[in-house]
């Protein structure tokens, strides 16, 4: 019986079966990506999501085709936005964990933020020096003529 099976199912038939199986699996992957994209889209309201979901589930082949035509271009943008948000969350987690996990910012983070503020022109050079001295824990910020005893924590002599 085994030898007759090889003759009844030629190589071209096996090729077509594998092709249809591949396309079927590809369609399922696309269907699930579309369902995830429907729920991920913050711009679409609840009724829009419900409508697209019903369309994609009740008329699967037509629904997937129409969704890809109508909203396929923005699917990539939402995917990139989601990937960037995940990467930022991961980077923030690594940064927080590496700095001791105390919930506070490290000196390097504070100095980088101060440098960015100075570069944008939000703070002056003098304000940058005072803030840098506070971050680094110096007792008296250098170069500040307007620093009072209350600013440095020293007691006035009298």
| Neighbour-count burial of 49, counting CB atoms closer than 10 A to its CB (0-12 exposed, 13-18 middle, 19+ buried) | middle
Question: What is the pTM assigned to this prediction?
Answer: 0.49
| pLDDT tens for each residue of 98-153 | 766 555 567 788 888 888 888 888 888 998 898 888 888 754 445 444 444 344 44
Question: What residue spans define the domains of the chain?
Answer: 2-72, 107-143
pLDDT of residue 138: 59
Q: What percent of the chain has pLDDT over 90?
A: 23
In the structure encoding, which two tokens stand for residue 23, read together? 């396309």
Helix (H) or strand (E) holding 48: helix 46-58
CA–CA dist 103, 100 (Å, integer): 8
| 84 or 107: which leads in pLDDT | 84
Residue 132 CB-half CA count within 13 A? 17
């Amino acid at each position: 019986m085994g030898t007759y099976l090889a003759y009844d199912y030629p190589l071209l038939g096996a090729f077509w079966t594998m092709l249809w199986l591949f396309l079927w699996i590809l369609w399922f992957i696309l269907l699930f990506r579309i369902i995830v994209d429907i729920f991920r889209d913050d711009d679409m309201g609840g009724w829009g999501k419900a409508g697209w979901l019903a369309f994609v589930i009740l008329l699967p082949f037509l629904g997937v085709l129409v969704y890809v035509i109508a909203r396929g271009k923005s699917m990539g943008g939402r995917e990139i936005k989601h990937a960037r948000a995940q990467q930022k969350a991961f980077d923030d987690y690594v940064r927080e964990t590496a700095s001791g996990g105390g919930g506070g910012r490290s000196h390097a983070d504070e100095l980088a933020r101060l440098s960015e503020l100075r570069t944008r022109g939000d703070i002056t050079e003098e304000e940058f020096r005072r803030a840098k001295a506070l971050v680094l824990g110096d007792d008296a910020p250098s170069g500040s003529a307007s620093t009072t005893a209350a600013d440095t924590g020293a007691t006035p002599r009298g």
